[in-house]
Chains A and B, each alone.
Chain A
Amino acid sequence: MKQQVIDPFQAVGDPNRRQMLRLLSRESLTINALAENFDMTRPAVSKHIKILYSAGFISIEDIGRERHCMLKQSGFKQLQQWIDYFDQFWAVKLKKLEDLLSEKAKKL
């Protein structure tokens, strides 16, 4: 499969794909079993799966004759990294503001 990089925000922006992840968070499913939960064509299901796969949310493994989809960590990790980054960012900035204001107060 050609690896096209899709950002995780885009991947989970679609309600069908979120539902797919929700189902997969309970158990890994074959593509067929996953498709049964959705009122859409198989090519449409495959397209969503491909997007989730490209964004690193799921992995696909051939087990026996079936293709199994399961959650993968990297897509979630990237989201987590952004939040962690800004969490840290704000803590540093607020401290800086505090220092700046108290410094200013001393001068007065």
Chain B
Amino acid sequence: MKKMIKYNWYFEQSPETVWRYLTTSELMAQWLMNNDFELVPGREFMFKSNPQPSLDFDGNVYCKILDIDPLKKLVYSWKIMQGEEKLMMDSTVTWFLIPKKGGTELILEHTGFDNWKNELIFQAMNKGWDQNVRVKMGNLFNTKPQNETTGN
């Protein structure tokens, strides 16, 4: 499992242009999602995308601008709710813009999964399941044969 989502993307356009597409509501809507973004420190805004029923995700992302460093860095929170008040995901999106070869290197970091996804989950993924299966197998051998062949 990944610790964070990270992308490095090279654009031939200048940081000024890329910045505009990251920070202008109408331009963001063209490639990201519909939104009511405004480049103001502390501004709360929302993205609206298509619902994802498989995740029980209504498609709304609640954000707040946490940091602005013009042409260099933009940080906002990225929250997803389930129902009226249940916070499903509380994460952070950070954009870095770095001038490179006449264009722009854009780095996206989507982080903040750590409060639940720390090393324990990595451990669990690696060790726990084996053990789970072993215990179950042990159970099967020690009890009467069952028709069930798969775990849940």
By a beta-carbon cutoff of 8 Å, the part of chain A in contact with chain B is: 7-13, 18, 21-22, 24-28, 59, 61, 63, 68, 70-73, 76, 79-83, 85-87, 90-91, 93-94, 96-98, 100-102, 105
CA distance A7 to B55 in the complex (A): 11
Q: Which of B1, B57, B116 has the most chain A CB within a 10 Å cutoff?
A: B116
**Total A-B pairs in contact (CB under 8 Å)?**
115
B150 on the interface (CB 8 Å rule)?
Answer: no
Contact B124 A100 (CB under 8 A): no
Contact B55 A73 (CB under 8 A): no
Q: Which secondary structure dominates where chain B touches chain A?
A: mixed
> Could you show 28 A-B contacts with beta carbons less than 8 Å apart?
A7-B86, A9-B87, A9-B90, A9-B116, A18-B118, A18-B120, A22-B120, A24-B124, A26-B123, A28-B131, A59-B132, A61-B139, A63-B139, A70-B132, A72-B132, A72-B152, A76-B121, A76-B124, A79-B1, A79-B117, A82-B89, A93-B31, A96-B31, A97-B32, A98-B9, A101-B12, A105-B12, A105-B13
Query: Known contacts A25-B128, A70-B135: does B52 contact A101 (CB below 8 Å)?
Result: no
Number of residues from B at the complex interface, CB < 8 A: 45
